[in-house]
């Protein structure tokens, strides 16, 4: 797919979904809570049946990191996760939990910085160092441990799951780079001085924050929702009372929204652009947004949407055990309660 097609189809769709989430996020959170509290119990069958599964899942999706900094755009990226867990079906009610390890990558840009610094050259003459910083890019990597506690229901081949996920960042790192152009302005000269590296007047010199820096995020509570389609034929097996498949599959669409603030930037953080005086002259640096002063006291909330693939491995089930109770009318068996015998 070329860039034009992506811009025409996916960018407006992505922006529309993000706008809906930001505008109605309180309503969505309330809806998820109500759904997780009661909707799953609405799906029941007359005959009780409980099945247990081991789950293996993987997902890939679009990620975004919203922030409350005025004039600062959200940071887009991607998310992928691998996990394993346990799922129980009771009638049509579902409960699942487990452990997942997700990887998130974010890449964002920062606004252009233009500033003047009062300096003195090696001959003692004052001048203004005009600094133009552009094309700043931030890169962030995070590995998280996720613990889902999800409930839901199924109808036909479809099911839904909602509930919280506890997320803890095991590893996080962020870096930044930009292009810096400097020129000298003297009051006694009409033109400025540029393209003179020996005088620290350089054009599009790459500056960084010195490499990846450790990123410490707060523990997070994520509201999760997914709707899936069962690829295997277990539902037909239940309907016609034949042996169900031991392995079934789900393909799901999911959405995550972080309810807690991830930010833990210290009060003494640097600006996104800063400089230091050294024995070798002035050194220029850029700081990633997630470790910069503008982010102090700001909110950062993550949002993910994507596709999830789940494999269900059914655990062994005890066979029906009929017990004669002396009445010749009923038998008891472990997985279905009491059933009448047909004469």
DSSP letters, 154-174, are EETTEEEEEEEEEEEEEEEEE
Whats the size of the chain, residue-wise? 343
Q: pLDDT category, 278, cuts 50, 70, 90?
A: confident
Average pLDDT over residues 59-65: 95
Q: Parse the chain into domains and list their residue ranges.
A: 3-340
pLDDT at 2: 43
The residue to which tokens 């010195």 are assigned: 210
CA distance 270 to 276: 11
Q: Which one has a higher pLDDT value, 38 or 113?
A: 113
Average pLDDT over residues 67-73: 84
As given in the structure block, the two tokens for residue 284 are 């220029």
Average pLDDT over residues 78-89: 95
The torsion angle over the Cα atoms of residues 182, 186, 190 and 192, rounded to 10 degrees, is -10
Q: Measuring CA to CA, which residue among 309, 313, 312, 311 is closest to residue 80?
A: 309
pLDDT at 343: 37
Q: What is the pTM of this model?
A: 0.72
CA distance 238 to 195: 77
What percentage of the chain has pLDDT greater than the value 70? 74
What percentage of the chain has pLDDT greater than the value 90? 39
Is the confidence at residue 4, as pLDDT, over 60?
Answer: no
Phi-psi domain of 91 (left: phi exceeds 0; alpha: psi -120 through 50; beta: other): left
Q: Measuring CA to CA, which residue among 205, 213, 301 is closest to residue 257?
A: 301
Is the confidence at residue 131, as pLDDT, over 50?
Answer: yes
């Amino acid at each position: 797919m070329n860039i034009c097609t992506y811009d025409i189809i996916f960018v407006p769709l992505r922006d529309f979904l993000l706008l809906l989430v930001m505008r109605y996020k309180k309503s969505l959170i309330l809806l998820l809570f109500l759904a997780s509290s009661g909707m799953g119990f609405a799906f029941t069958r007359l005959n009780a049946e409980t099945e247990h599964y081991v789950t293996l899942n993987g997902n890939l999706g679009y990620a975004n990191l919203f922030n409350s900094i005025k004039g600062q755009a959200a940071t887009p990226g991607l998310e992928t996760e691998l996990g394993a867990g346990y799922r129980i079906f009771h009638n049509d009610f579902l409960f699942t939990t487990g452990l997942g390890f997700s990887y998130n990558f974010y890449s964002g840009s920062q606004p252009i910085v233009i500033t003047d610094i009062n300096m003195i050259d090696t001959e003692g003459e004052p001048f203004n160092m005009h600094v133009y910083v552009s094309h700043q890019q931030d890169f962030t990597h995070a590995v998280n441990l996720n613990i889902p506690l999800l409930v839901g229901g199924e109808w036909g081949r479809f099911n839904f799951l909602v509930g919280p996920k506890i997320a803890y960042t095991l590893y996080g790192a962020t870096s930044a780079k930009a292009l810096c152009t400097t020129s000298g302005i003297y009051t006694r000269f009409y033109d400025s001085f540029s393209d003179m590296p020996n005088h620290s007047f350089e054009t599009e010199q790459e500056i960084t924050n010195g490499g990846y820096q450790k990123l410490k995020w707060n523990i997070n509570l994520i509201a999760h929702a997914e709707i899936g389609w069962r690829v295997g034929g277990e539902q037909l097996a239940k309907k016609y009372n034949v042996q169900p498949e031991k392995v079934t599959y789900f393909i799901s669409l999911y959405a995550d929204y972080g309810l807690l603030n991830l930010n833990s930037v210290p009060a003494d953080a640097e600006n996104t652009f800063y400089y230091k005086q050294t024995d070798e002259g002035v050194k220029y640096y850029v700081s990633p947004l997630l470790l910069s002063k503008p982010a102090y006291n700001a909110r950062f909330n993550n949002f993910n949407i994507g596709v999830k693939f789940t494999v269900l491995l059914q655990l062994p089930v005890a066979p029906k055990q009929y017990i004669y109770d002396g009445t010749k009318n009923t038998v008891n068996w472990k997985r279905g309660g009491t059933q009448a015998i047909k004469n």
